[in-house]
Amino acid sequence: MSGSSDSNSVQRIVIKKVLAKLQKEGEGTVVRNVITEIDRELLDPFVLLVEFSFSLSAGFPDHPHRGFESVTYMLQGGIIHKDLRGHKSTIQAGDVQWMTAGRGIIHSEFPEQEVNNGLQLWINLPSIHRMIEPKNLELSSSKIPRAEEDGVEVKVIAGDSMGIKSPFYTTTPIMFLDFTLKPGSQTHQTVPESWTAFAYIIEGDEGVFGSLNSSAISAHHVVVFGTGDLVSVWNKSTSSSLRFLLIAGEPIGENVVQCGPFVMNSQAEIDMAFDDYQNAKNGFEMAKSS
């Protein structure tokens, strides 16, 4: 057993589950759009989670973003990131890149190796922070805090678990935990009661989430949890590990409009973002040199 709970804890049960189907997105790119089919109100402050892989001939050339923060987490291979502010980095398997798009950033993402697989999470920003200055931060796998106990390993990318805490801060408070449960093990993770929480299963076929009486859920499903302050997960397999991300965040409670690379509060703000990008102004001045 990993983690602990007291008698006053309220167990979060699964209120929705969806299989993220594999689909092509352009030439040489395959994705699983993990949360796009789920009511966004259930997921506030999260806007998008995608699992991706692309061939060496594919990738995403220079494109703009505004209004959110993203976390890119590599599972296999590597990704080369460049932005027009002069920042360049490569993240490998197990590494993380935090990107604050804020008022405007233009960047590209290309695979470094033929075999690559990763996840990218978009986190909304409240309107008062939406136009902050953009920034990037890379975190190598060796610097991600981790703990292991009773057949459960956790990598703490954001938030805290099993007595360890990530030193990295996001503008919108979140928890981003990578759990691996050996066969027959279980974990019980406290989550702030007011926060949204969901899990995405990376590997495994017999994960039981929320209640011991629930049916097992397999890889590539996203499960959304209801209210409470405790998330429990059991690996019912006798032969294979269960790996999943547990992601939670403080809801913002504002209207959200997403259109392509922009996340804003209204359609008028989306229209302004496209206009600013096309005219290389208000945060997109670097587009003049692209």
Q: What is the pLDDT of residues 71-106, one digit of tens each?
A: 999 999 999 999 888 888 999 999 999 999 999 999
Q: Which domains does the chain have, with CATH numbers?
A: 14-257 (2.60.120.10)
Average pLDDT over residues 127-141: 93
Q: Residue 41: CB partners within 8 Å, gap ≥ 6?
A: none
Confidence of residue 2 (pLDDT cuts 50, 70, 90): low
pLDDT at 59: 83
Q: Of 62, 126, 67, 123, which is closest to residue 98 (Cα–Cα)?
A: 123
**160 CB-side CA count, 13 A:** 6
> Which residue positions form the known binding site for Fe cation?
63, 65, 107, 109
Question: Which range is least confidently modeled, 9-23, 76-90, 236-250?
Answer: 76-90
pLDDT at 283: 87
- Give the lowest-confidence range in 3-12, 138-147, 167-176, 185-194: 3-12
What distance in Å separates the CA atoms of residue 203 and residue 157, rounded to the nearest whole number? 18
Q: What does the alpha-carbon distance between residue 148 and residue 121 come to, in Å, rounded to a whole number?
A: 25
| Binding-site annotation: residue ranges | 63, 65, 107, 109
Is the predicted pLDDT of residue 4 greater than 70, yes or no? no
Q: So what's the pLDDT on residue 3? A: 53
